[in-house]
Amino acid sequence: METRQQGLLDPEPVTEVDEEMVSDVDLNNTMTDEEREEILSELTKLEEEISTLRQVLASKEKHHSELKAKLGITPLSEFKQNFNKSWYDMQTSTAYKKTSETLSMAGQKTTAAFTALGTAISRKFGDMRNSPSFKSFEEKVECTVSNIKTKVGSQGGGGSFEEVLSSAAHASAQETPSNNMSESSDHERTY
């Protein structure tokens, strides 16, 4: 019973390993010495050809780089040229064209929406300006301006709103000069 359990615990069956070893041995035993030497000489020739081809390739690459140097082609200029070609290829691709068209249409629709929004806002401001409440507000402002003009007094028979405001500020500064001086001396003491 113990022998069975040990056999079950072995990772690989012995027969499979033996079969692989037998097949390797059979291949080596079927080859004659002449065939083996012929294969080795062919292998040596191939290795020599590979070495020769590598030398030829290295020579061609060197000649290639010398010609590029004579033409003034640098790795950077090649990179730029490849980049520009790739960029052009991308721009002429159908995916890029479709995306560009879609974004263009989206931009046009957005512009149209903003135009419509601006028109609606302008219309609302126009409606608001013509509304009775805005008219009432406008009348109150005009009344206040005329009251300021009468209180300040018109020096030249009218003037612009800015002139009236500056004259009102000038008049209020002249009415209380002692207050302004005491305030300025208070400010000097606090600082």
pLDDT per position as a tens digit, 143-161 = 888 888 887 765 555 566 7
The alpha carbon of 169 is separated from its chain's Cα centroid by a whole number of angstroms, namely 55
Q: Is the pLDDT of residue 57 over 90?
A: yes
Q: Is the pLDDT of residue 58 over 70?
A: yes
| Residues 15, 22: Cα–Cα separation, whole Å | 10
| Predicted model pTM | 0.31
| Residues 148, 164: Cα–Cα separation, whole Å | 7
- Burial of residue 184 (CB within 10 Å: 0-12, 13-18, 19+) is exposed
